[in-house]
Amino acid sequence: MEEIDQKLDQWIYNSIIRAEIRSLIVSAIHTHAKKVVEDQLIDVKTEAFKAGWIKSDHKLNTITKR
């Protein structure tokens, strides 16, 4: 984050805009990191299912209409 802060300080003189852009960057990093972790968990669960470690729960995959 230090490198990003340095570049933002260099390129953007308005502190309010700089803070908003930094917040967007941090949010994007966290969103991406969360997606990567979720994808890894899905991969682990898929491999466990294939190996027979996890049994399928068909109720989780159904869509109910009201």
Radius of gyration of the chain (CA): 21
What is d(CA 4, CA 51) in angstroms, rounded to the nearest whole number?
Answer: 43
The answer to whether the beta carbons of residues 53 and 46 sit under 8 Å apart is no
String of DSSP letters for 24-62: HHHHHHHHHHHHHHHHHHHHHHHHHHHHTSS---GGGG-
Residue 23 has a pLDDT of: 93
Q: pLDDT (tens digit, 0 to 9) for every residue of the chain, 66 residues total?
A: 889 889 999 999 898 999 999 999 999 988 888 887 777 777 777 777 777 765 555 555 555 445
The model scores a pTM over 0.85: no
Residue 40 has a pLDDT of: 77
Parse the chain into domains and list their residue ranges. 2-61
